[in-house]
């Protein structure tokens, strides 16, 4: 039987859904923690050891989480994913696209460079410069959001509504990521658009309890039809820009009706989205991923 590694330290609902989808398609899968993998160069055939794979390499690697740690540890975990791809094994999403988007500063930079609408954003290590940016934005009538560079699920975000809030301006590990706040009206909301292999497969409107519209922060999920081409194309263009096989794109719309991408997630959750979607997202992911794993040559997989 062919074998898939699901890279995760916390399989949970998503891991179980993927495992079931793979099994239904004739693939056995195992949860793998990158903390247990090692580089073993004396093994010419499989110079990367993955626990549970008996010195053999998997047919594909589905990444559901890269653990945190020291800079050295995280670099090493990404080395494992880079190495597996170099060995011709499909890694989904691959280390390069994860690197680009775990770092919100690089995501914003790449989106802007590609001409994709995204709110004005600043990244700086200088506290005085950061304060000056927030002060200037406030003077011009804009509020500002600060985010941890590697944050997720709405944790650690702050909103600066007046100069008095400046006292709360703190860097996340020495770096300030600041973004112009996009007002969405008296009922805050944004969109999560799920893209697989370049196509939008599901989307929802997220209505937050506060201005944070993350499902993890209690936002309500509302179904949306996929006939809003502006929304879908913007999400698809964003995913193409960061080179991902699949992604969850966060999109916000200002009071003038203009959409902007605020984030592209390389390891997106889809539990909330699944509750308002007709398609079975784990099945679509499994089909797309396994089509890469069964591709006849490794170069075909690496070229995607």
Could you list the residues that contact ligand ATP (CB under 6 A)?
119, 145, 147, 151-155, 157, 179, 181-182, 190, 208, 211-214, 250, 252, 262-263, 265
Query: Hey, what are 74's tokens?
Result: 């995280």
Q: What is the C-alpha end-to-end distance of the chain, expressed in Å?
A: 25
- How many other CB atoms are there within 10 angstroms of residue 41's CB atom? 7
CA distance 131 to 125: 11
Which of ligand ATP, Mg ion, none has residue 237 at its interface (CB below 5 to 8 Å by kind)?
none
Provide the token pair at 159: 């909103």
Nearer to ligand ATP, 147 or 205 (CB): 147
SS3 256: coil
Min separation Cβ 145 and ligand ATP, Å: 5
Containing H/E element for 71?
helix 71-86
Q: In the Cβ-directed half-sphere of 227, how many Cα atoms lie within 13 Å?
A: 1
CA distance 207 to 219: 5
- Measured from the CB of residue 152, what is the shortest distance to Mg ion in angstroms? 7
- Decide which of Mg ion, ligand ATP, none touches 8; Cβ closer than 5 to 8 Å per partner kind: none
Tell me how far, at minimum, the Cβ of 222 lies from Mg ion, in Å: 17
198: left (phi over 0), alpha (psi -120 to 50) or beta: left
- Site of tokens 């989480």: 65
Choose between 8 and 179: whose C-beta lies nearer to Mg ion: 179
Q: How far is the CB of 121 from ligand ATP (least distance, A)?
A: 8
Query: Which of ligand ATP, Mg ion, none does 138 bind, CB closer than 5 to 8 A by kind?
Result: none
Smallest separation, CB 202 to ligand ATP (Å): 16
**Residue 119: contacted member of Mg ion, ligand ATP, none (CB under 5 to 8 Å, by partner type):** ligand ATP
Residue 153 contact partner, candidates ligand ATP, Mg ion, none, CB within 5 to 8 A by sort of partner: ligand ATP
Nearer to ligand ATP, 130 or 293 (CB): 130
């Amino acid at each position: 039987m062919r074998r898939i590694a699901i890279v995760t330290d916390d399989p949970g609902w998503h891991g179980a859904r993927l495992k079931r989808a793979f099994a239904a398609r004739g693939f056995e899968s195992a949860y793998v923690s990158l903390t247990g993998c090692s580089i073993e160069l004396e093994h010419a055939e499989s110079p990367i050891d993955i626990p549970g794979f008996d010195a053999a390499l998997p047919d594909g690697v589905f990444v559901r989480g890269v653990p945190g740690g020291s800079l050295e540890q995280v670099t090493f975990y990404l080395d494992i994913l880079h190495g597996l791809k170099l060995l011709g094994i499909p890694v989904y999403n691959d280390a390069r696209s994860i690197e680009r988007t775990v770092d919100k500063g690089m995501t914003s930079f790449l989106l802007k460079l590609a001409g994709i609408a995204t709110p004005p954003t600043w990244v700086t290590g200088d506290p005085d410069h950061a304060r000056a940016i927030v002060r200037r934005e406030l003077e011009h009538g804009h509020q500002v959001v600060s985010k941890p560079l590697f944050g997720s699920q709405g944790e650690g975000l702050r909103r600066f509504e007046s100069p008095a809030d400046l006292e709360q301006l703190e860097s996340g590990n020495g770096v300030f990521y600041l973004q112009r706040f996009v007002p969405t009206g008296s009922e805050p909301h944004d969109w999560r658009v799920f893209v697989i292999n370049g196509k939008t497969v599901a989307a929802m409107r997220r209505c937050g309890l506060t201005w944070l519209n993350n499902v993890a922060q209690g936002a309500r999920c509302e179904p949306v039809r996929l006939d809003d081409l502006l929304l879908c194309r913007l999400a698809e263009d964003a995913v193409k820009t960061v080179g991902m096989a699949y992604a969850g794109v966060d999109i916000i719309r200002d009071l003038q009706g203009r959409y902007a991408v605020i984030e592209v997630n390389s390891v997106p959750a889809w539990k909330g989205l699944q509750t308002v979607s007709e398609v079975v997202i784990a099945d679509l992911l499994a089909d797309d991923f396994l089509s890469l794993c069964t591709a006849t040559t490794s170069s075909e997989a690496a070229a995607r």
